[in-house]
Structure 1
């Protein structure tokens, strides 16, 4: 082989290696994960004893003629939290406050 073509190939290989090293970006951090229920609300929006959701949803309201007249807040219809459970609730029940029987 010709020495000049080997030299050109080596230079191209080295330039590609250097460009790949310098142009590398660190991977973006993963987005923060918020455990959500099927209704879209977090565990903090659900009652611990009954597991019902006490958040409110914004709904559009319309007048008699069908025209948009604003927003109204209605309670969430979620009846039970179905998202991931905290690890302390999986292995041991809550001890405090004591339940009154």
Structure 2
């Protein structure tokens, strides 16, 4: 091999190494966050009863008010939500295996 082709090959290798070392890193595609099942009351599906759909969560409710600052004192009370209206997970179905 002639020395010129060796120098060209070494130059290409060094250029590729430096470009990979100091060049911008590839960013991996981030997965979009899954939506959390949240009702209009702010509670998830787990806080709602399956049959009656009533909410079992607690809500911060204002008790005392002031003319200047608005609500001054709060109390935790039962949520008055009557039905879950958020997204529902897909149901899983059992299908027996098909055999010939």
Residues 84 and 32 of structure 1: is their aligned pair in 2 closer, same or farther, counting only changes over 3 Å? closer
The Cα shift of 1:46 comes to 0.3
2:80 equivalent in structure 1:
77
Question: Do residues 62 (structure 1) and 64 (structure 2) align?
Answer: yes
1:35 aligns with 2:37: yes
Q: Measure, in 2, the Cα distance between the counterparts of 1:69 and 1:40.
A: 22
Number of positions where the alignment pairs a residue of Structure 1 with one of Structure 2: 75
Which residue does the alignment assign to 1:26?
28
Larger Rg: 2
Gaps of 5+ in 2: 1-18, 94-100
In structure 1, stretches of 5+ residues that fail to align are: 1-17, 92-101
1-structure distance, mates of 2:47, 2:63: 24
- TM-score, length-scaled by structure 1: 0.52
Cα RMSD after superposing both structures: 3.3
- In the superposition, the TM-score normalised over structure 2's length comes to 0.53
